Amino acid sequence: MFALLKKEIQSFLNSLTGYLVIVVFLLINSLFLWLMTNDMNILEGGYSSIDSLFIISPWVFMFLIPAITMRMFADEKKAGTLELLITRPLTDLQIILAKYFAGVVLVILSLIPTLIYYISVYYLGNPVGNIDSGGTFGSYIGLLLLGASYVAIGLFASSLTDNQIVSFIISMILCFIMFYLFDQVASFKAFEGIDYIILKFGINEHFNSLSRGVIDSRDLLYFGSLIGFFILLTKIRLESRKW
């Protein structure tokens, strides 16, 4: 499994895909947070905070992570190498997890450079260090879990088809539903009384909870369950070839 994980990570880093995803992620966030004149600009906001990063990043990841995962199984199917991969002494779950963790590693690599934003605001604050570090690192944990959830969703989408574009579109739609749609459905008057329950099915509610700096076991359980659910769906999809 670790050999396959290493191979997947190297395939990202030996091509433009991995670097392009990281660069685009940092470029978009840097433009909004430091250069463009808008409400999210850190320098114009007047507060020692990088909350804007955690508002923008889920939407940026919604496009970039499907671009990472779209080839994971779809490309293997199209090239005819999936059957060869399956003949290795690896279970379906090990293959899935190797590809999954490779995607998570790329998410982590894209987040690490953003710590420069935190350090910059930390020292630019008046007084120095006037930033909610607890809330910031809670937001980082939430963003990492959100990215990991998107990877699991994208992996499932990639297992459904041998067309990378179709995989990308399915993944993006599913990520949008999980992050945004539950919030909108809960706002309908028809769902008054159960709106809180509906909100709890969406990623955004748990992501916002972690952003307050409180690591709640219920939020961790939610993300763990969501990731496990889509990994299970991917496993079922791969096993369906035997039916």
Per-10-residue mean pLDDT of the chain, 243 residues long, equals 80 81 90 81 77 91 93 81 73 90 94 92 81 88 96 95 93 95 85 84 91 86 96 91 61
In a domain, 243, yes or no: no
**Model pLDDT, residue 130:** 80
Identify the pLDDT of residue 18: 80
Looking at the structure of the chain, the number of domains it has is: 1
CA 113, 158, 5, 9 torsion: positive or negative?
Answer: negative
Residues 6+ apart with CB under 8 A from 90: 1, 4, 98
Say if pTM beats, i.e. exceeds, 0.85: yes
Distance of CA 100 to the CA centre of its chain: 11
**Phi then psi dihedrals of residue 151, to 5 deg:** -65, -45
241, part of any domain: no
The answer to the question of residue 106 being in a domain is yes
Both tokens of 22, joined, read 């990281």
Domain assignment present for residue 231? The answer is yes
3-state secondary structure of 3: helix
* Cβ neighbours for 116, distance < 8 A, ≥ 6 positions apart: none
Q: Is residue 176 a part of any domain in this protein?
A: yes
Could you identify the residue written with the tokens 């279970």? 91
Peptide bond into 127 cis (omega under 30): yes
Give alpha helix (H) positions in 87-202: 92-111, 115-124, 133-159, 164-176, 182-186, 195-200
pLDDT at res. 166: 94
R_g of the chain, CA atoms, integer Å = 19
Question: Torsion-angle region of residue 177: left (phi > 0), alpha (psi -120 to 50) or beta?
Answer: alpha
74 domain-assigned: yes
Closest CA to 144 of 198, 210, 99, 200: 210
| Gap between the Cα atoms of 199 and 178, Å rounded | 10
The whole-number pLDDT of residue 150 equals 97
Q: Which two tokens stand for residue 59?
A: 């939407």
Domain with 195 in it: 2-236
Q: At a CB cut-off of 8 Å and minimum separation 6, what does 29 contact?
A: 53, 56, 57, 60, 114, 117
Alpha carbons 62 and 227: distance in angstroms, whole number: 15
Judge whether 193 lies within some domain.
yes
Asked if residue 75 is part of any domain, the answer here is yes
